[in-house]
Amino acid sequence: MADPFAPDIFPKVLVNYAPMATVFEVVDGILPASITGDDRKKYIPNLAPNAVNDVPTQMQALVADLIKKELLVKFRSALFSKASPLLREILRGSTKVDDSGTADAAALQNFQNKIEPFLNSKSFFEGMDAVRYRVCAIWVNDKREGKREIRGTGFLIAPGLVLTARHVVAPLLDEVPTGNMIGGVFMETIDEQLPDSHEDLACVFDYWTPVSKFTLTDTSNGTRVVRPAAKWLEWSSCRHPGDGTTHEFAFPPDVAKCLDCAVIRLSEPIGATATGHGGGKLRGWLRLNGAVPGLTQGNAVAILQHAAQGPQVFSNGDFRAQDTTTTRVWYKTGTAGGSSGAPCFDSEPNLVAFHNAGYPIGYPGAT
């Protein structure tokens, strides 16, 4: 099998599995702001002006240009958030391709068999259509790193409360030691929000349309920006050091007490308002009922997320396993930077988890 990211193979993968409209959209999103007008709009065709209708040649020219400008990794990351489940598997390296950029037939069949083949279209899509208005992007001004950007995803759990992953808002928190040792290894801490940190946090709802550069002040694409209350940190639970690095948590601190989540109190109860500016159905919120998700291997796990700091996207994969504490589940569903805090649903769709960590690359055991 071939390396899917080799300069002569990756263009073929794009031709086979990436709609050209998506490729153009992703390229537009990563190009420097200095490229404007027709130069930006016709960027890809201009790379191969003698191959206007020759898509394979255009993709070859594009990949060569991305490598030259050191933008290939950024392109792959942005493409991941908009890719089909199969293309995500290729981009992740889980599904191999041959010299023609075609996915391995055996791996493809195996991949398809592991995802629930049939979903009730009425209940699933009607349910997800309602849920999407309750999911938001979490924007943070990280003064330590000098970054003002979307860092994660969150969702309403009450009219004025949003749940997200704690590490998404960590730059706005101060860990205060309590003096208590955990397992003789870790010093227990409690979170306190930094002074005036409410000015450095925002929840962005209805972010559907891609933009070349996201800003809070530009709401021309229909986004609804909601600021937090001055005392915004309602509750939090620390992240376990094993999250994203292992599937085994038989070491301190107690993983059941380290949930990597934070609840943000908003300055207004947006969940109790209409979804449209001129009125409409109630936005609503997702209810936490405390029940352990009843999932078995192969069940669908769908995620609504702001992957790669972009507009809300949907990905569907399948459940693989659950930790004995029932506080961690593992699934094979596409995610990327910005997905942390995103709600995960089964095929009904019911809320079953929220995303907080990626694939544990360095873990030597089964995964």
Count of residues in the chain: 367
Among 18-22, 45-49, 173-177, the minimum mean pLDDT is found in 18-22
Q: From 47, 80, 113, give the residue that closes a domain.
A: 113
Q: Kindly state whether residues 344 and 222 are assigned to the same domain.
A: yes
Closest of 78, 164, 13, 30 to residue 336, by C-alpha = 78
What pLDDT does residue 186 have? 75
52 pLDDT above the threshold of 80: no
Q: What angle do CA 5, 85, 334 make, to 5 degrees?
A: 85
DSSP state of 115: S
Give a yes or no: residue 221 inside a domain: yes
Q: Kindly state whether residues 68 and 141 are assigned to the same domain.
A: no
E strand map for 267-361: 300-305, 313-322, 329-332, 343-345, 351-354
SS3 297: coil
Which range among 88-97, 126-135, 233-242, 318-327 has the greatest average pLDDT? 233-242
Q: Kindly state whether residues 134 and 44 are assigned to the same domain.
A: no
Question: What is the mean predicted confidence (pLDDT) over 249-273?
Answer: 92
What pLDDT does residue 109 have? 52
182 pLDDT above the threshold of 80: no
Give a yes or no: residue 5 inside a domain: no
Among 153-157, 181-185, 237-241, the minimum mean pLDDT is found in 181-185
What pLDDT does residue 43 have? 92
Give a yes or no: residue 277 inside a domain: yes
Q: From 113, 143, 158, give the residue that closes a domain.
A: 113
Q: Which has the higher per-residue pLDDT, 122 or 307?
A: 307
H or E segment at 262?
strand 261-266
Cα 354 from Cα 16, distance rounded (Å): 32
pLDDT tens, position by position, 71-106:
998 998 888 877 776 788 788 777 888 898 888 766
Give a yes or no: residue 56 inside a domain: yes
CATH number of 321's domain: 2.40.10.120
Number of domains in the chain: 2
Question: What is the mean predicted confidence (pLDDT) over 111-122?
Answer: 58
Q: Kindly state whether residues 203 and 289 are assigned to the same domain.
A: yes
Q: Kindly state whether residues 151 and 36 are assigned to the same domain.
A: no
Q: Kindly state whether residues 37 and 70 are assigned to the same domain.
A: yes
Among 151-165, 276-290, 318-332, the minimum mean pLDDT is found in 276-290
Domain that holds residue 299: 117-361
284 pLDDT above the threshold of 70: yes
What pLDDT does residue 108 have? 55
Q: What sign has the CA pseudo-torsion 256, 159, 264, 226?
A: positive
